Amino acid sequence: MWLADAPPLVLASASSSRRAVLAGAGLPFSAEAAAVDEAELKAAAKAEGMSAGEAALLLAGAKAERIARRHPEALVIGCDQLLVCGERWFDKPVDLPEAAAHLRALAGQAHVLETAMVVWRNGRQIWQHLERPRLEMRALSEAFIAAYLALEGEQVLSSVGAYRLEGPGVHLFTTIKGEHSAILGLPLLPLLGFLRQHAVLRG
C-alpha cells in the first residue's frame, strides 16, 4: 500500500499506543521522541486564552517541527492529547496517588479528549487535524480504584486520565463516542485519508 517512492514517515512521539496504531495499519515508519517543554507551552496557551483544542494543536505542531528539523524530507507526524473535564485540563499523573485523585475527579463525569495531529514536511506545516472523542466514566468506588491501580500499576502514568482504553481501563466507562485510534492518541482514518491525498499511500 505504501508507494516505493514515498517519503519516509516519522512519528514524533515515544508513545507505545501511537506506535501500535501505525504498526497495526501496516505503515512503515520510524519514531523519535520530541523534547518540548509541554508545561511551558500549555501555560502559554492558557495565558493567551486558547481553547484546549488549540493548545493540543500547538503542542502537536511543536513536536512535529522539532523532529522535522532533523528530517526535512520526511512526513513528520506530531500528536498531542488534552483531557478536559468541565473547565479543568488534566495532565498525565506523576504517580499512583495522583492517578487515584484523577480517577476520583473523573468518576461519574463526561470528559473530552482533545486529540490533535499535525504533519510537517520541507520546513513547514502541511496538515492538521483535531478530533474530540467524548467518554463518560461510571461512578467508581474507592475499592475499585485501588484494585484497578494495583492491576495496572505504573502503566497508567503514561496515559492522560490514568487509564488505558486498550487494556483494563475499558472497565471504567459507560459510554464512549469517537474513533478508537483517536482515543489512543492518533486519529488513524483522517491520517490515512491525508496520505492517500498526498499520493504516498495507494488509493
How do residues 33-65 score in pLDDT, each as one tens digit? 998 898 899 999 999 999 999 999 999 999 999
Domain of residue 47, residue span: 9-197
Q: Using only C-alpha atoms, what is the Rg of the chain? A: 17
Q: Which long-range contacts (CB under 8 A, 24 or more apart) does 22-26 make?
A: 22/186, 22/188, 25/188, 25/192, 26/1, 26/2
The pLDDT value given to residue 198: 83
Global pTM reads 0.92
Q: Which of 57, 102, 64 is nearest to 80 (CA)?
A: 57
**Structural domain includes residue 203:** no
Q: Give the pLDDT band of residue 202 (cuts 50, 70, 90).
A: confident
The pLDDT value given to residue 5: 80
**Structural domain includes residue 35:** yes
Q: Give the pLDDT band of residue 6 (cuts 50, 70, 90).
A: confident
**Structural domain includes residue 1:** no
Buried b (16+ CB within 10 A) or exposed e, 142-154: eeebeebbeebee
pLDDT at 73 over 80: yes
The more confident residue out of 187 and 200 is 187
Has 80 been annotated as catalytic?
Answer: yes
**Structural domain includes residue 187:** yes
**Structural domain includes residue 178:** yes
Q: Which of 94, 165, 93 is nearest to 135 (CA)?
A: 165
> What is the tally of structural domains in the chain?
1
5, 37, 80, 95: which is the annotated catalytic residue? 80
Q: Give the pLDDT band of residue 166 (cuts 50, 70, 90).
A: confident
Strands (E), the chain: 9-11, 30-31, 75-85, 88-90, 110-121, 124-131, 134-137, 173-177
- Cell of residue 136, nine digits: 463518560
Tens of pLDDT along 142-164? 999 999 999 999 999 989 999 99
pLDDT at 3 over 80: no
**Structural domain includes residue 3:** no
- Cell of residue 121, nine digits: 514536511
CATH code, domain with 154: 3.90.950.10
Q: Give backbone dihedrals phi and psi of 120, rounded to 5 degrees, phi first.
A: -115, 145
